[in-house]
A and B are shown apart, each in its own frame.
Chain A
């Protein structure tokens, strides 16, 4: 007997073969349906995000609903342009001919979603897969069960249920899905599971996009020659953006969230002082009344993050916060100054509200610091020094590099979003999402009118000479050769 997963694949394959997902009309209708789904179910989505992760509706709008709306609107506006074949230029030797690159859907694609942005990380890649004309299985994370069920309830009501399916479940369901042959797998999550996905995909030669994470560093330069940094506007804005990039998105549980800050030793005290002030204004002082802050997703992750703090040397480095509320799974925004570099907190992705500050003698050392670790998904650098900017740009490698802000690269549709090395591979957002779910088919049209004898055996020296000239696009030489004059005007005879 077939499993549920196989039936789903079978149905989606049939739909794909029918060709209906290829039409512009179908793609646009689905994108519009996503917008409608968001409009009509916004409150329900907010509520689910509140229950799963304690997200405030403003945060939910900013990081989830709003992001998806923006992507869907952009895709609606651009999809026809993306679908248009790209003309390719053809050398004269092949005249008459025309070439084009035609984007076509890959087929039936599987999208695995992580729990930290359960709505946007489901619908944002789905927008790419729809724009490219694929049929889709969405597998939401079981660790955000309310969101998973909202998606499972609403998607079939708004989107084409024979082409786009939500399959809910845990590890067993994921394993079942991975047994099957997909035309593409898009995965957001950890490197550990990423490896499993890739191994499973290898059996079927399925291409994979892996959106992973890593320890995203922030370089904070002095920004000012003034001695009183805390009154410097640039520095204040920078620290605010760092706080926003650390605790703002799902309380640090974000793949592009700030993992740690690199700063010169002399500026660490001012940085800590400002951060404390900002934390108090943004989120409040008392652990019991903290607001505007997502909670830790579950007991497992709560323990994981809490354990990072339990190492005595790490505990000793806490300069702010550090208290936890196990019952409500809240961990206070916590600042650490120079925890040991070999402690787990500095070797593993933190994915939680702890912010280590690592001091350096000279801010340029940050490049070496970053390069001696796996390539992160994002690097943030706050500096006004153009030569330092250039050095960071040239000498470090990361999925993205943002100067003087954090997180905001995520919402730029014109920039590819994706990692490199340990932070993953493949990219999406805007046209890149469309490309990720498309095959770029090379199409060359020739005419049957003109025929060059020299392409065919039996081979002789004349043909060899002809081909040499053709490859050099030496049209004058070709004409002379054909006229039998080549020997007289021969200039660059080779052996």
Chain B
């Protein structure tokens, strides 16, 4: 792969203006949709090979989400592309103004291994919808999906403008040395910093979709069964916890713990059976490195005696069963880094309100969840918790809504995507002001006089009476 040559070729294509046309964008979005439509089996097989991802999970979380995003873009594209008329003020009268979205140019999408299909193509949809040429770099940690993407995009898409570059660190480094008009990165904060530093050399704007320790606060006086099922669906039902918006830990009061734990154990057994290591409905850990990383979190002396459920491991098949830990110390490894796996610590506080302070003492997470029937607590949570997104009484669903921006804040990233937000992330909003030759105000020009000063004051303040006074010399 020659990164420089690819960028040069794509720049050439972009320069012809081809990718800017509505027709081109539509044709490429339709081609993407066809990939998902015609190759569902191939894609779910690749996801199974990379992550043992259950077929239904692969379908719901990756293929369907991507298709929905595609359909939405196709439906809304004309509206998104339309210049937005804005009002002008007395100061620039007579004039008309609009904000015109235009593509940024040649953009780079670096994707992650946990949702290797969705997280590759979802940003690509935004980039195409906005009229850019795109290079996609899928994650080498999900090799089967990476190669399916390379093959299918090569077959279906306009390769003069849309490319897949496969590879690991050296290939990514070579890509990052090039000058891009936007970089969209999904992954972790460590690599996020490297991407930002590389982008700084070329003044390239960057979107970082990172993660963080997304907390779940569980209040009393709620239906534990429903809450617990929704927590399980968001934790183990999302790639076995290997998702950026997965619940990372639970905060609840001491009194709540027994009821909560009982409900958890019951529902977990209903979902995944008595021996979850054998369940076909749970993804595996992606590779040996991550298996080791998670084992280390569990083997930490500070938490070995805190496991209250699960804890089984099968190193050969890279499986770890849903594991719950109670009252882990704050300085344990598991509370210091993002877990990104099937371990779920429960932290107890005296009052549920204390959870706000607990969360705020840490880095801002990508998501924060609250289960409560208390409106006041809900309000306090919304006002005081800063996170990419908040979801009350459920988990992870915010990701499925195209009307909500998806993106982090602080350590959980910057920039946002989904629906129109993706389009905007890959667009420049050009300010366009149209003036006529009438209405030229002499006060703008020297030689400057006191009369002109008064006139300008009135003009900038939108003070019509003042304007008239200045004009007639009062």
By a beta-carbon cutoff of 8 Å, the part of chain A in contact with chain B is 17, 19, 22, 56-59, 61-62, 66-67, 69-70, 73, 88-91, 94, 97, 99, 101-102, 104, 106-107, 183, 191, 194-195, 198-199, 201-203, 205, 207, 210, 212, 223, 233-234, 237-238, 240-241, 243-244, 248, 281-283, 291-293, 371, 389, 393-395, 397-405, 408-409, 411-417, 420-422, 424-427, 439-448, 451, 455-459, 463-464, 467-468, 471, 494-495
Chain B residues with Cβ below 8 Å from A422 are 203
Tell me whether B389 and A444 are in contact (CB under 8 A): yes
Q: Mark B56-92, 1 if CB is under 8 A from A, else 0.
A: 1101100011011000000000000000001111011
A17 cross-chain contacts in B, Cβ below 8 A? 360
> Which residue of B has the minimal Cβ distance to A395?
B17
Interface of A is mostly: mixed
Query: Is there contact, CB below 8 Å, between B387 and A456?
Result: no
Q: Determine which residue in A101, A248, A421 has the highest number of CB atoms from chain B within 10 A of its CB, and name it.
A: A421
Q: Is B406 an interface residue (CB 8 A)?
A: yes
Query: Whole-angstrom distance between the alpha carbons of A90 and B428 in the complex?
Result: 27
A401 touches B430 (CB 8 A): yes
A205 with B460: CB separation less than 8 A: no
Q: Is the CB of A241 within 8 A of B440?
A: yes
A445 to B196, CA, bound (A): 34
A468 to chain B, nearest CB (A): 7
Query: Chain A residue with minimal CB distance to B87?
Result: A414
Least Cβ–Cβ distance between A423 and chain B, in angstroms: 9
A424 touches B446 (CB 8 A): no
Which residues of chain A are near B409, meaning CB under 8 Å? 106, 439, 441
Q: Assess whether B456 is in contact with A62, with CB atoms less than 8 Å apart.
A: yes
Chain B residues positioned under 8 Å from A413 (CB to CB): 89
Q: How far is the CA of A199 from the CA of B201 in the complex (A)?
A: 8
Interface residues of B in 396-448 (CB under 8 A from A): 397-398, 400-401, 403-406, 409-411, 413-416, 428-437, 440, 443-448
Chain A's closest residue to B179 (CB) is A421
B197 at the interface (CB under 8 A from A): yes
- B373 interface contact, C-beta 8 A: yes
The answer to whether residues A456 and B237 also contact, given A416-B431, A421-B203, A468-B64 and a CB cut-off of 8 A, is: yes
Bound-state Cα–Cα, A68 to B232, Å:
52
CA distance A411 to B461 in the complex (A): 11
Is B189 engaged at the interface, CB distance under 8 Å to the other chain?
yes
Residues of B near any A CB (own CB < 8 A): 15, 17, 20, 40-41, 54-57, 59-60, 64-65, 67-68, 86-89, 91-92, 95, 97, 99-100, 102, 104-105, 181, 189, 192-193, 196-197, 199-201, 203, 205, 208, 210, 222-223, 226-227, 229, 232-233, 237, 271-273, 279-281, 360, 371, 373, 378, 382-384, 386-394, 397-398, 400-401, 403-406, 409-411, 413-416, 428-437, 440, 443-449, 452-453, 456-457, 460-462
| Smallest Cβ-Cβ distance to B222: which chain A residue | A448
B92 adjacent to A443 (CB under 8 Å): no
Q: How far is the CA of A456 from the CA of B57 in the complex (A)?
A: 10
Could you tell me if B281 and A244 are in contact, using CB atoms closer than 8 angstroms?
no
Q: Are A416 and B54 in contact (CB under 8 A)?
A: no
By a CB distance below 8 angstroms, the chain A residues around B41 are 495
A125 vs chain B, min Cβ distance (A): 17
Cβ-defined partner of A427 (8 Å) among B88, B382, B410, B429: B429
> Beyond the given A248-B446, A424-B203, could you list 7 further A-B residue pairs with CB under 8 A, ordered by the A residue number?
A67-B460, A88-B404, A94-B400, A99-B401, A371-B15, A443-B390, A468-B59
Query: Can you report 9 A-B residue pairs in the complex whose CB atoms are below 8 A from each other?
Result: A73-B461, A397-B105, A401-B431, A404-B437, A405-B433, A440-B405, A441-B389, A441-B390, A444-B394
CB <8 Å contact, A441 and B388: yes
A403 in contact with B433 (CB, 8 Å): yes
Q: Is the CB of B226 within 8 A of A101?
A: no
Q: Are A198 and B200 in contact (CB under 8 A)?
A: yes
Chain B residues lying within 8 Å of A195, measured Cβ to Cβ, are 200-201, 203
State the 10 A-B residue pairs at the shortest beta-carbon distance, nearest first. A292-B446, A202-B196, A198-B200, A58-B448, A442-B389, A442-B404, A66-B460, A457-B281, A400-B431, A414-B86
Q: Is the CB of A446 within 8 A of B392?
A: yes
Are A62 and B432 touching (Cβ within 8 A)?
no
Minimum CB–CB distance for A461 against chain B, Å: 9
Q: How far is the CA of A463 from the CA of B443 in the complex (A)?
A: 72
A99 touches B92 (CB 8 A): no
Cβ–Cβ contact B386 & A104, under 8 A = yes
Q: Given A62-B456, A67-B460, is A198 in contact with B403 using a C-beta cutoff of 8 Å? A: no
Contact of B92 among A412, A425, A439 (CB under 8 A): A412
CA distance A63 to B4 in the complex (A): 44
Using Cβ atoms and an 8 Å threshold, which residues of chain B touch A457? 54, 56, 237, 271-272, 279, 281
B279 contacts across to A, CB distance below 8 A: 457-458
Q: Is the CB of B432 within 8 A of A400?
A: yes
Cα A420 to Cα B55 with chains together (Å):
43
Chain B at the A interface: mostly helix, strand, loop or mixed?
mixed
Q: How far is the CA of A210 from the CA of B398 in the complex (A)?
A: 31
Q: Give the docked Cα–Cα distance between A282 and B445 (Å).
A: 7
Chain B residue numbers with a CB within 8 Å of A446 are 391-394, 397
> Does B271 lie within 8 Å of A456, measured CB to CB?
yes
CA distance A89 to B414 in the complex (A): 23
CA distance A319 to B81 in the complex (A): 45
- Is the Cβ of A210 less than 8 Å from the Cβ of B203? yes
Q: Could you tell me if A444 and B392 are in contact, using CB atoms closer than 8 angstroms?
A: yes
Which of these, A397, A415, A451, contacts B431 with CB under 8 Å? A415
A386 CA / B181 CA spacing, docked (Å): 30
CB distance from B196 to the nearest CB of A (A): 4
The residue of chain A having its C-beta at the shortest distance from the C-beta of B237 within the complex is A457
| Chain A: minimal CB distance from B297 (Å) | 23
Residue of A nearest to B434 (CB): A403
Which residue of B has the minimal Cβ distance to A461? B56
CA distance A283 to B445 in the complex (A): 10
Residues of B within 8 Å of A244, CB to CB, are 444-445
B198 to chain A, nearest CB (A): 9
In the complex, residue of chain B having the shortest beta-carbon distance to the beta carbon of A195: B200
Specify the chain A residue showing the minimal Cβ separation from B367: A442
Beta-carbon contact of B203 and A425 below 8 Å: yes
Contacts of B20 in A (CB 8 A): 394
Q: Inside 8 A of A240's CB, which chain B residues have their CB?
A: 440, 445
Tell me, in angstroms, the Cα distance from A400 to B462 when the chains sit together. 23
Roughly how many angstroms separate A207 CA and B205 CA in the complex, as a whole number? 10
Closest Cβ neighbor of B401 among chain A residues? A99
- Evaluate contact between B410 and A205: CB separation under 8 angstroms: yes
Task: Given A283-B446, A415-B433, check contact A205 B203 (CB 8 Å).
Answer: no
Q: B389 to A421, Cβ gap below 8 A?
A: no
With a cutoff of 8 Å between Cβ atoms, the chain B residues found around residue A56 in the complex are 446, 448
* Neighbour of B404 across the interface among A57, A101, A403, CB < 8 A: A101
Q: In the bound complex, do residue A61 and residue B457 qualify as a contact, i.e. CB atoms below 8 Å apart?
A: yes
- For A94, give the chain B residue with the smallest CB separation: B397
| Cα–Cα, bound, A69→B462 (Å) | 11
A58 and B444 CA atoms in complex are apart in Å by 9
Contact present for A412 and B433 (CB under 8 Å): yes
In angstroms, Cα B89 to Cα A59, docked, is: 20
Docked complex Cα distance between A59 and B272 (Å): 73
Asked, given contacts A66-B460, A94-B397, A205-B189, whether A415 binds B414 with beta carbons under 8 Å apart, the answer is no
* Inter-chain contacts of B373 with A (CB < 8 A): 448
Nearest residue, chain B, Cβ from A73: B461
Instruction: Please state if B447 and A282 are interface contacts (CB–CB under 8 Å).
Output: yes
* Residue with the greatest number of chain A CB neighbours at <10 A, chosen from B223, B416, B443, B444: B444
- Distance in Å: Cβ of B445 to nearest Cβ of chain A: 5
B-side contacts of A424, CB under 8 Å: 203
B40 to chain A, nearest CB (A): 8
Q: B440 — which chain A residues lie within 8 A by C-beta?
A: 237, 240-241
User: With A and B bound together, what is the CA distance between A368 and B201 in angstroms?
Assistant: 26
Q: Is the CB of A291 within 8 A of B446?
A: yes
Contacts of A455 in B (CB 8 A): 229, 233, 237
Are A58 and B453 in contact, with the CB atoms below 8 A?
yes
